[in-house]
Amino acid sequence: MKSYSYFPGCSCSEGSGIAYDISTREIARSLNIELLEIEGWNCCGTTPYESLEEFESTCLAARNLGLAAQRNLDVVTPCSACYLTLNKVDQRLTQHPWLEAKVNRVLEGEGLNYHGGQIRVRHLVDILLDKDTLEVLRSKIKRKLTGLKVAPYYGCMLVRPGFGFENPRRPVSLHRLIEAVDAEPVSFALQASCCGGAFIISEPDVALNLIRRILASVKETDAQCIVTPCPLCQTNLDAYQGAVNTKFGTEFNIPVLFVSQLIGFAMGKGFGGLAMEKGIVSPMELLRSYSPKRKPGLYPALYFYLRNFYSYAKKLSRD
């Protein structure tokens, strides 16, 4: 059993990426990984805070590192944005002793302390690729996904600027994980391009166009679904796929899974345990063809009936 401090981040913990957190915890248990959530963690600050108040945002991220340092375990986060921010702040504290001293004066007030490089911040994809974890994963595969064509969408912040485990110019980590579960990775041109991130709120036209480009690039291949390691990318590609179709008159209908969901599915986990029902472009139809049929219970059936009715009504009103 390997133990890590776990930093879920805001959007995974109860926001739009909650399925990522649920499925990550679900697979970790079976892969002999113990995830100990950092108690009282706060938002890492990410791009917006850094853009407004540089020093405050550094302190905010450093507080999480200070909390994690109390347990002295490496930090694991499933969120690419948190991964980038926490690593960047760690790097800056190492690079600038004056900044480290100043930040520690702020952290002291809460009895915390952190030195640059004291602990490592790793991404979920990184720890899944550890040699022994990969072996455990291979031994636990229950569903045969042979022939399932998966487009690995890396996004930006997992690969760039790069904190050690991935080649930032030619990323391979998702390809390797998809191969590990016997599915087939399908490379596409824009696999590490930007999805627009939070611009979907402030400048939706800009972001929708970036999303359209990525979906069109996937469509050029014969991939059946997209897999991503980032909650922002998943929300943009999945929840806004309908908006892209309305705006550009396209007909994209491609499910977007979290990397943890695909792995859990291959390990034979149930749909509910992996929060598969939270996909807006439902992956159910695709996944059922790889899974023996079972009669759904009454409430899930009612739920799906209502949701299908809603999307049908919405489609009618759009036409």
Residues near another protein, by CB under 8 A? 10-11, 13-19, 40-43, 45, 47-56, 58-60, 63, 84, 92, 95-96, 99, 102, 105-107, 109-110, 156-157, 160-162, 168-169, 193-194, 196-199, 201-204, 206, 210, 235, 239-240, 242-243, 277-280, 307, 310, 314
CA pair distance 120, 136, nearest whole angstrom: 23
Choice between 51 and 289, CB closer to another protein: 51
What token pair was written down for 274?
Answer: 């992996």
Q: How far is the CB of 132 from another protein (least distance, A)?
A: 31
Choice between 60 and 226, CB closer to another protein: 60
Choice between 10 and 137, CB closer to another protein: 10
Choice between 106 and 134, CB closer to another protein: 106
Choice between 80 and 183, CB closer to another protein: 80
Which string of DSSP letters, residue by residue, matches 68-79?
HHTTT--EEES-
Choice between 88 and 122, CB closer to another protein: 88
Choice between 30 and 209, CB closer to another protein: 209
Query: Which residues have C-beta within 8 Å of that of residue 233, sequence separation ≥ 6?
Result: 80, 153, 155, 195, 256
Q: How far is the CB of 238 from another protein (least distance, A)?
A: 9
Choice between 50 and 180, CB closer to another protein: 50
For 307, other C-beta atoms within 10 Å of its C-beta total 13
Q: How far is the CB of 247 from another protein (least distance, A)?
A: 11
Residue 276 DSSP code: G
Q: How far is the CB of 227 from another protein (least distance, A)?
A: 18
Q: How far is the CB of 314 from another protein (least distance, A)?
A: 7
Q: How far is the CB of 242 from another protein (least distance, A)?
A: 7
Q: How far is the CB of 30 from another protein (least distance, A)?
A: 23
Q: Please check whether residue 184 is in contact with residue 160, taking contact to mean a CB–CB distance below 8 angstroms.
A: no
Q: Please check whether residue 260 is in contact with residue 23, taking contact to mean a CB–CB distance below 8 angstroms.
A: yes
Q: How far is the CB of 190 from another protein (least distance, A)?
A: 10
